[in-house]
Amino acid sequence: MANIKYYTEDHIPLEMHKVRIIQKLHLLPIEDRLKSLNDSGYNTFLLKNRDVFLDMLTDSGVNAMSDRQQAAMLVADDSYAGSETFYRLEQKLTEIFKTKLFLPVHQGRAAENIINRTLIKPGDTVLMNYHFTTSKSHVTVNGGLVEELISDAGIEEESELLFKGDMDIGKLNEAISRLGADKIPYVRIEVGTNLIGGQPVSIQNMREVSAICKQHNIISLLDASLLADNLHFIKQREEEFKTKSIPEITEAIAELFDLIYFSARKLGYGRGGGIITNSQQLFDQMKELVPLYEGFMTYGGMSVREMEALTIGLDETMDEDMINQGPEFIAFMAEELLKRKIPIITPPGGLGCHLNAMKFLDHVPRGEYRAGALAASLYLASGVRGMERGTVSEDRNPDGSDHLANMELLRLALPRRVFTMSQVKYAVDRIAWLYDNRHLVGGLRFVEEPKVLRFFLGRLEAVSDWPQKLLEKFRADFGDSL
């Protein structure tokens, strides 16, 4: 827990905002939660939100907007072409990232679609520190392959390594030598590596990767969707930048990359997304695809109201007191779970707290989807919806076998400025109860399985009657409690 800043003696982080708008929540009885699990095919993505108490599925598009963002939405210039709103957003991106050119899109995967349609040729290989689900799929559907070059220490579940998202430089050099630079359309760095626990990347590592790309004339690409958390960790953990401002750190990152794209559903607490660059050549290659797949060049699939909110949200991302809220809440939750000896990914990263399903449910066979079973059992025990980040989130191998994930995680996202401390403590309490009764939890198997991105729409079922046994134990322990 080194270098995490707390504001009270008992390590409770202090919210630097006040709540002025609320939304009523509902906590269903456990019997109704079991029915919802069955109806949703034991896939938390398919749960109806009205059946969820605390929605920790993701931070994508569900962060709370500020009063300034809400107010900005009222002054949007609602024009199809040439909207002043677009130019305000473009100016803000130039101010923050020092880039000249901006392509608007409706979210991050739309940016991935345009980038990969432009740059990938069949037989190409994209090198990444680690893949994200949609980033990998967009490469493969365009005929490319993905190689992950995360360091071996990056996928250790419990570690003291402060930048587990760093790319292994030795692996990068070897891959370029083996494949040839002409077969590598770009090297992608994802800051805040999602699938290994929201782990940050150091600027030192980005510098080394950027220099190698320049040496071999390979495009360097940054997925900045989780940049806000990564900025916080760089300021806290990287000695060179402890006295630098958040805008200064952002500029130091941006100057290292030829292309940057982002999902504004994460970055900027809004909706939409974009591609930014200083390369006129890359811009011209991609721009014709925006009207084809997204919309006209001055809205790109976003509503102008979203764009106004994003402009303010990007400005707020440069405020240290805003971007530290997520990581500090996550660190608090992680510390409370560690006190109870519950296995989690350490050090805690960004985006959310990540339970280590590999150890939590070590009695469940790997082929029965430990992380998926943990997600289902936690919802049953608490009404908390998390997201499976393990083998269910992988596509099958060409021979039809499961591609076993490096990690089996249950991500409990903490959307920014959404949850109260009592709600975080409730989640910890129910996780602790589930851990004490983990022997009751069994595995899952697919009954409906899409070929691509199966974790979104696939349906599963319990391999035994373990959900009913868990329900009966809950009733024995808590009586009439929800």
Q: How far apart are CA 392 and CA 459, in angstroms?
A: 11
Residue 132 is among the residues annotated as catalytic for this protein: yes
**Is residue 284 annotated as part of the catalytic site, yes or no?**
no
The rounded distance, in Å, linking the Cα atoms of 421 and 12 is: 8
Single-letter code of the amino acid located at 229: D
Give the Cα separation of 251 and 264 in Å (integer): 18
Q: How far apart are CA 34 and CA 36, in angstroms?
A: 5
Structure tokens, 310: 């994003």
**3-state secondary structure (DSSP) of residue 81:** coil
Would residue 426 show up in a list of annotated catalytic residues for this protein?
no
Question: Which residues touch 212 (CB under 8 Å, ≥6 apart)?
Answer: 169, 172, 173, 176, 187, 218
Which residues are CB-contacts of 174 (< 8 A; sequence separation ≥ 6)? none
The residue annotated as part of the active site, out of 51, 55, 59, 223, is 223
Catalytic residue among 33, 109, 235, 266: 266
Which is nearest to 163 in space by CA: 229, 260, 258, 80? 229
Annotated catalytic residue within 164, 389, 417, 430:
389
Catalytic residue among 35, 68, 80, 121: 80
Beta bridge partners of 263: 273
Tokens of residue 159, six digits: 């570690």
Asked if 45 is an active-site residue, the reply is: no
Q: Which residues contact 465 (CB under 8 A, 6 or more apart)?
A: none
Is the separation of the CB atoms in 103 and 290 below 8 Å? yes
Task: Give yes or no: 455 in active site.
Answer: yes
Catalytic residue among 58, 133, 134, 346: 133
Q: Does the annotation count 133 as an active-site position?
A: yes
Strand partners, 411: 354, 387
Question: Among the options 241, 299, 455, 474, which is catalytic?
Answer: 455
Residue 241 is a catalytic residue: no
Marked catalytic residue, from 132, 163, 261, 269? 132
Q: Say if strands 54-55 and 259-263 run parallel, antiparallel, or are unpaired.
A: unpaired
* Catalytic residue set: 80, 132-133, 223, 266, 389, 455
